[in-house]
C-alpha cells in the first residue's frame, strides 16, 4: 500500500475563489506536501450554463499569489497564459467528454445505469407528490422498466434522454472518511443520480470518479457539504470495480451567523484580501489554524508554510465548522508585516500607495525611496494591512491644517504655548543636518523638556502632524527633515500670534 500520494484541487470556473475554497485546497496541499505527494489542478467545467468568462485565470492567479505551487495539471505560465502539464491530461473536463460517455456506456452495459426519458414536467410532478406525502424527494425509477431494446428504439427515434445510475435496493453503503470516521447511509436515501446530461456532458459525479481514477488520485479533499453525496461516489467505484481513494471531508468555514460562507453575503473572495493588503503568508497561516491545530503543547501561532507542512496532520483537523474571525487575521497579518525587512515592506507598499490620492498629489520629494522608507520605518509597527499604508499619517505627504487649540497641552496659557514652540524651534535649529537622527532628537528634546515633557512634546507633535494622534514628535521630525519641521513650527507660531 505504498501508493503515491496524489491530491487534486478541482475548481469550477464559475466564479472567484473564496476563502472557504482556499482553506479546503490548502489542507489538501499541506497533506500532499507533507507526504511528498503531488498537487494537481483539474478544471471541472461540465456545467456550460454557469461558466464565467475569465474565472479560470483568476482562480489560477490567486493560487499563484498565495504560493500554492501546482505540480501537475492546469496552471499559468510565466506570461499568465493557461497551460496544462502532466501525463494524465487533458486536465480540463470539457476536453474529456468522449471518455465519460464511454464509461457511462460501460455502466449501462453492466446494468448499473440506464437511459431515462422522463421530461422535466414529470420529474417535477413526482417530486411534488413525494413532498406532499412526506417522502424524500427522489427519482422514482420509472425508466428502469425499459428493456435495452426498448431504450435503444427510443433513442433511435430521437427522444431526449439522460443516463442515470441504478442505485441498488436495500443496501447499506459504508465508507471511511479520514476526518469524520465511518459513515453509513441506506441506499434508499440515495437518488438515481444523473450521470450524463441530455446535452451529453457528464455531471460532477461521473466526471469526478472517472478522472480521479484515471489520474490516480489517492485522497479526495472536499468541503463537508459534500459528505452526504459521498455514497454516490462509493457506488460508482463499486460499479466500475475500481479501488476507492480515501475521502477527506474538510469542515467548512462559516460566517459569523453560523451559516456556510456565501459569496454574495460575505465579502470573502481571495482577491479581496489581496487588494486589502493582506500578505499571502499571513492568510495561509490564518487559514491553516481554522479547523486545524498543531497539537498539544504548541502555544505559538505564527508559522511559516514550511513549518505548517511539517506539522500538518489530519488527526488534528476539527470536525465542526469554523467561524472566520477577521480580527485574528488582522493580528496575524500585523505580525507578518512587522517581520518584513524595510526593503520588502517598501517594495510591497508601492502599489498600495499608488492608489492613494494623498500620495499621488504629494510633491516629488515625498515620493523618493529614501523618504518613503523613513515613513515606513515609523509605520511598520502600526500597520495592520498594506492597504492602510500612509492612511493614518497623511501629514507626511500633505500640507497640514488644524485648529490652534489642538496645540494646547492641558491648561497651559497662550504665552506658555508660544514659549514651548519657540523652545522646540531653537532645539531643532541647533541640531546639525548630519545629526538629524531620532536618537539625537530625543536626547536634545528630552534635555530641553526637563520634567515637563508634555508641555514641550505635545505642542511640538501637533505642530508637526496637525493630528490628535500620531507617532512621537521625534519620529515625525526625523521623517519630515529639518527644514520641513522648522517650517511647520513657524506655521504653528503664526497661528498663535
Residue 52 CA from chain centroid, whole number: 19
Cβ–Cβ contacts within 10 Å for residue 131, how many?
11
Binding range to RNA, per CB under 7 A, among 69-77, 99-107, 273-281, 468-476: 468-476
Mark whether 263 is an active-site residue.
yes
Binding range to RNA, per CB under 7 A, among 144-152, 190-198, 274-282, 339-347: 190-198
Choose which of 132, 149, 468, 483 interacts with RNA (CB under 7 A).
Answer: 468
Asked whether the beta carbons of 437 and 482 are under 8 A apart, the reply is no
Choose which of 290, 376, 386, 464 interacts with RNA (CB under 7 A).
Answer: 290
* String of contacts with RNA for each residue 331-370, x by CB under 7 A: x--xx--x--------------------------------
CB of 79 to RNA, least distance (A): 27
Based on CB atoms, which residue is closest to RNA, 191 or 367?
Answer: 191
Give 163's strand partners: 115, 196
Q: Which residue has the cell 485574528?
A: 328
Determine if 185 is a binding residue for RNA (CB under 7 A). Answer: yes
Choose which of 78, 132, 169, 181 interacts with RNA (CB under 7 A).
Answer: 181
Cα separation, 237 vs 257, whole angstroms: 37
Based on CB atoms, which residue is closest to RNA, 166 or 367?
Answer: 166
CA 62 vs CA 80, 107, 131, 223: distances in Å: 12, 38, 42, 19
Choose which of 84, 216, 301, 419 interacts with RNA (CB under 7 A).
Answer: 301
Cα separation, 234 vs 175, whole angstroms: 7
Q: Of the listed 58, 166, 263, 339, which one is catalytic? A: 263
Binding range to RNA, per CB under 7 A, among 56-64, 65-73, 420-428, 464-472: 464-472
Give 41's strand partners: 9, 73
E-assigned strands of 52-106?
Answer: 72-76, 82-85
Residues 430-459 close enough to bind RNA by CB under 7 A? 442, 446, 453-454, 457-458
Task: List the grid coordinates of 477.
Answer: 521630525
Based on CB atoms, which residue is closest to RNA, 262 or 267?
Answer: 262
Determine if 95 is a binding residue for RNA (CB under 7 A). Answer: no
Choose which of 33, 366, 461, 488 interacts with RNA (CB under 7 A).
Answer: 461
Based on CB atoms, which residue is closest to RNA, 68 or 287?
Answer: 287
CB of 343 to RNA, least distance (A): 20
Based on CB atoms, which residue is closest to RNA, 271 or 442?
Answer: 442
CB of 364 to RNA, least distance (A): 27
Binding range to RNA, per CB under 7 A, among 44-52, 74-82, 238-246, 365-373: 44-52
Q: Which of 209, 205, 203, 219 is nearest to 40 (CA)?
A: 219
Residues 241-270 close enough to bind RNA by CB under 7 A? 251-252, 254, 258-260
Choose which of 157, 299, 363, 413 interacts with RNA (CB under 7 A).
Answer: 299
Helix residue ranges, H only, 13-96: 19-34, 55-65
Q: What is the DSSP letter of 361?
A: T
Determine if 278 is a binding residue for RNA (CB under 7 A). Answer: no
Number of chain positions touching RNA (CB under 7 A): 91
Residues 145-174 close enough to bind RNA by CB under 7 A? 160, 162
Q: Determine which helix (DSSP H) or strand (DSSP E) holds 208, and give its type and residue range.
A: helix 204-214
Asked whether the beta carbons of 416 and 455 are under 8 A apart, the reply is yes
Determine if 99 is a binding residue for RNA (CB under 7 A). Answer: no
Q: Which of 377, 378, 398 is nearest to 473 (CA)?
A: 378
Choose which of 76, 92, 178, 227 interacts with RNA (CB under 7 A).
Answer: 227
Cα separation, 321 vs 259, whole angstroms: 9
Determine if 226 is a binding residue for RNA (CB under 7 A). Answer: yes
E-assigned strands of 166-234?
Answer: 172-177, 181-186, 194-196, 219-223
Residues 107-136 close enough to bind RNA by CB under 7 A? 118-120, 123, 127, 131, 134-136
- At residue 419's C-alpha, the angle toward residues 415 and 420, to 5°, is 115
Sign of the dihedral defined by the CA atoms of residues 197, 201, 205, 206, in that order: positive
Q: Beta 113-116 vs 162-165: how paired, if at all?
A: antiparallel
| Sheet with strand 194-196: strands edge to edge | 113-116, 162-165, 194-196
Q: Which of 299, 272, 287 is nearest to 332 (CA)?
A: 287
CB of 183 to RNA, least distance (A): 5
The two most distant CA atoms of the chain are separated, in Å, by 107
Residues 193-222 close enough to bind RNA by CB under 7 A? 194, 197-199, 201-205
Based on CB atoms, which residue is closest to RNA, 33 or 444?
Answer: 444
Backbone angles phi, psi at 254, to 5 degrees: -115, 160
Task: List the grid coordinates of 63.
Answer: 493560487
Choose which of 35, 187, 293, 398 interacts with RNA (CB under 7 A).
Answer: 293
Based on CB atoms, which residue is closest to RNA, 38 or 46?
Answer: 46
Residues 12-31 close enough to bind RNA by CB under 7 A? 12, 14
Based on CB atoms, which residue is closest to RNA, 384 or 418?
Answer: 384
Q: What is the DSSP letter of 203?
A: P
Determine if 144 is a binding residue for RNA (CB under 7 A). Answer: no
Residues 48-87 close enough to bind RNA by CB under 7 A? 50
Question: Which residues are marked as active site?
Answer: 263
Amino acid at each position: 500500500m505504498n501508493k503515491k500520494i496524489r491530491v487534486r484541487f478541482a475548481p469550477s470556473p464559475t466564479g472567484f475563489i473564496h476563502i472557504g475554497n482556499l482553506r479546503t485546497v490548502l489542507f489538501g496541499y499541506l497533506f500532499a506536501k507533507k507526504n511528498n505527494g503531488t498537487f494537481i489542478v483539474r478544471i471541472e467545467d461540465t456545467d456550460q450554463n454557469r461558466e464565467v468568462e475569465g474565472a479560470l485565470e483568476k482562480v489560477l492567479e490567486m493560487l499563484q499569489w498565495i504560493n500554492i505551487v501546482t505540480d501537475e495539471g492546469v496552471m499559468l505560465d510565466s506570461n499568465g497564459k493557461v497551460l496544462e502539464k502532466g501525463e494524465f491530461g487533458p486536465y480540463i473536463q470539457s476536453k474529456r467528454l468522449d471518455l465519460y460517455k464511454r464509461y457511462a456506456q460501460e455502466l449501462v452495459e453492466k446494468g448499473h445505469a440506464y437511459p431515462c426519458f422522463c421530461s422535466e414536467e414529470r420529474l417535477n410532478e413526482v417530486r411534488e407528490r413525494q413532498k406532499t406525502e412526506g417522502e424524500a424527494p427522489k427519482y422514482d425509477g420509472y425508466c428502469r422498466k425499459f428493456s435495452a431494446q426498448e431504450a435503444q428504439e427510443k433513442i433511435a427515434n430521437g427522444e431526449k434522454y439522460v443516463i442515470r445510475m441504478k442505485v441498488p435496493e436495500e443496501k447499506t453503503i459504508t465508507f471511511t472518511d479520514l476526518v469524520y470516521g465511518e459513515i453509513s447511509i441506506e441506499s434508499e436515501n440515495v437518488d438515481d443520480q444523473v450521470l450524463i446530461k441530455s446535452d451529453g456532458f457528464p455531471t460532477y459525479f461521473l466526471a469526478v470518479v472517472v478522472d480521479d481514477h484515471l489520474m490516480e488520485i489517492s485522497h479526495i479533499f472536499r468541503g463537508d457539504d459534500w459528505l452526504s453525496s459521498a455514497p454516490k461516489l462509493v457506488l460508482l467505484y463499486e460499479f466500475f470495480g475500481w479501488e476507492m481513494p480515501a475521502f477527506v471531508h474538510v469542515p467548512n468555514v462559516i460566517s459569523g451567523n453560523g451559516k456556510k460562507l456565501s459569496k454574495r453575503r460575505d465579502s470573502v473572495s481571495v482577491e479581496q484580501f489581496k487588494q486589502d493588503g493582506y500578505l499571502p503568508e499571513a492568510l495561509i497561516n490564518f487559514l491553516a489554524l481554522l479547523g486545524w491545530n498543531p497539537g498539544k503543547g504548541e502555544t505559538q501561532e505564527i508559522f511559516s508554510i514550511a513549518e505548517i507542512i511539517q506539522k500538518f496532520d489530519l488527526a488534528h483537523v476539527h470536525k465542526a465548522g469554523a467561524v472566520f474571525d477577521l480580527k485574528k487575521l488582522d493580528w496575524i497579518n500585523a505580525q507578518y508585516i512587522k517581520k518584513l525587512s524595510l526593503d520588502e515592506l517598501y517594495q510591497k507598499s508601492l502599489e498600495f500607495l499608488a492608489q492613494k490620492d494623498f500620495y499621488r498629489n504629494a510633491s516629488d520629494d515625498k515620493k523618493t525611496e529614501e523618504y518613503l522608507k523613513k515613513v515606513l520605518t515609523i509605520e511598520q509597527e502600526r500597520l495592520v494591512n498594506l492597504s492602510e499604508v500612509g492612511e493614518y499619517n497623511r501629514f507626511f505627504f500633505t500640507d497640514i491644517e488644524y485648529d490652534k487649540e489642538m496645540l494646547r497641552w492641558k491648561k497651559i496659557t497662550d504665552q506658555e504655548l508660544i514659549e514651548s514652540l519657540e523652545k522646540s524651534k531653537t532645539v531643532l535649529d541647533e541640531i546639525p543636518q548630519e545629526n538629524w537622527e531620532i536618537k539625537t532628537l530625543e536626547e536634545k528634546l528630552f534635555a530641553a523638556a526637563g520634567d515637563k515633557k508634555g508641555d514641550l512634546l505635545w505642542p511640538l507633535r501637533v505642530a508637526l502632524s496637525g493630528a490628535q494622534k500620531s507617532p512621537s514628535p521625534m519620529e515625525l521630525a526625523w521623517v519630515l527633515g529639518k527644514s520641513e519641521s522648522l517650517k511647520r513650527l513657524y506655521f504653528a507660531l503664526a497661528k498663535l500670534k
